[in-house]
Amino acid sequence: MTRELHNIQQSVKPHVACHLNDIRRSPPIIRGMAKIEKIHGSRTPTRLHYLPQWAERRGLIQADIARELGVDKGTVSRWFDGYLPKEQSIPQLCGLLQIEPGALFRHPDDDWLSRIFADRNDNERARILAMIEAAFPRKTG
């Protein structure tokens, strides 16, 4: 019985840390924890907006935006890092940048197309689309 128990312990030992100080024999999750430099270091927010690009296009820096909107500089810094502004801040932000709220979520270089279609009626839009499709036909198979 003790021989069987010893064999089981030996087979399990590489997968379970028997001693907290024995990092080499710990499972990978525990080995990784020994090297953590900061909590949630790998968490990077996904950028949903193009605030930094729009601010650069308008010649604004983070301090300008914070001052004009009356928000903390840290808040604007988080926005520039990719965090989404609160819903009530988006209209103010777009007003400062002189853009429509939807444009904040498009790159400034992509905005030229919306300007072309902005004040056109349905017939003009259809003609413009037909000209673009004639100039750049879709690739087939």
CATH class as words, domain 51-110: mainly alpha
Question: pLDDT for 91-110, tens place per residue?
Answer: 999 999 999 888 898 888 87
Give the pTM. 0.51
User: Which pLDDT value is given to residue 107?
Assistant: 86
Domains in the chain: boundaries: 2-33, 51-110
Residue 112 burial class via C-beta count within 10 angstroms: exposed 0-12, middle 13-18, buried 19 and up: exposed
Percentage of the chain beyond pLDDT 70 is 65
Structure confidence at residue 36 (pLDDT) = 44
